[in-house]
Amino acid sequence: MAATRVIARVASTTTTSLLFKGPFRRSQSLNLCFNNKLVSKKRLCTCSALYKPEVQIKEEGQPETLDYRVFFIDNAGKKVSPWHDIPLHLGDGVFNFIVEIPKESSAKMEIATDEPFTPIKQDTKKGKLRYYPYNINWNYGLLPQTWEDPSFANHEVEGAFGDNDPVDVVEIGESRGKIGQILKVKPIAALAMIDEGELDWKIVAISLDDPRASLVNDVDDCEKHFPGTLTAIRDWFRDYKIPDGKPANKFGLGNKAANKDYALKVITETNESWAKLVKRSIPAGELSLV
């Protein structure tokens, strides 16, 4: 089944963003931004899909500070949301992937889903910047226009509910990405991580620019051309919280990586969840589904 494509006609000259991270979980209401004002009601902001995105990156503040943000700017010089305005699909099983954390780095960067235009920032805990206890060995980021629905219990993965975020991607190519870089990738596997009871998918993918991209098209190819990588990814995400005194994360689906077809299924379902969220949130007359 083809994924739903969303086109929103925005009445305002400013593209605003959907905001629903933070304290929101299944039974709670949403904090959101409408015309760049934070309100609390079950209605979200409009967004527009840039199906031929030509965006630039604008940094504000100094890296590794609380004020640091990476914004996405369109050709008109306006801020856009990397989560909502960058297209997911590029056709032929190829997708846009946005780098949040470059490989061989430890600053825990992420899309700020609770801020206007959802820029990339460094995550915090109790007012302090967060770092992984050791470097992540792959480019890490998100698939735009996806959402892991926190009201949906996945009965294939222990009934775990979605983690209320875009879908994560682990890109295994040899080149180190940059924060905010958009790469064309093809999925090859999926890991069903369960983090404190929430389902947090990890799509394993490879950049089309990687020299071995043509050789890697499914989970078995990954084992052949990147031996041990899938196990290393699983073990990294299983154990990274242990140094902070937390329990290891678990994995569903038999503790193994699912194949490409399953990864595509996850992407389709979470894209549809995102589309439904946008559809029910945009005022009548401002949304058309194609």
Collapsing DSSP to helix, strand or coil, 203 comes out as strand
Domain 88-279 class? Answer: alpha beta
Q: Which residue has the higher pLDDT, 92 or 290?
A: 92
Among residues of the chain, what percentage have pLDDT more than 70? 79
pLDDT for position 20: 41
Mean pLDDT value of segment 158-170: 97
Residue 2: pLDDT over 80: no
Q: Where are the alpha helices (DSSP H) in the chain?
A: 219-225, 229-239, 260-281
Confirm if 49 and 87 have CB atoms less than 8 A apart: yes
Give mean pLDDT, residues 199-208: 98
**What is the average per-residue pLDDT within 212-223?**
97
Average confidence score pLDDT of the chain: 84
pTM equals 0.83
Radius of gyration of the chain (CA): 18
Q: What is the pLDDT of residue 53?
A: 61
Residue 236: what residue type?
W
With a pLDDT cut of 90, the percent of the chain lying above it is 77
| Catalytic residue list | 132
- pLDDT classification of 276: cutoffs 50, 70, 90: very high
Angle at alpha carbon of residue 279, lines to 273 and 284, rounded to 5°: 170
Mean pLDDT along residues 161-184: 97
Residue 23: predicted pLDDT? 34
CB 101 within 8 A of CB 109: yes
Token pair for residue 34? Answer: 């409408």
Provide the pLDDT confidence category of residue 164 given band limits of 50, 70 and 90. very high
Checking if the pLDDT of 36 tops 80, the result is: no
Structure confidence at residue 280 (pLDDT): 79
Q: What is the dihedral of CA 148, 150, 154, 158, to 10 degrees?
A: 120
Q: What is the pLDDT of residue 278?
A: 86
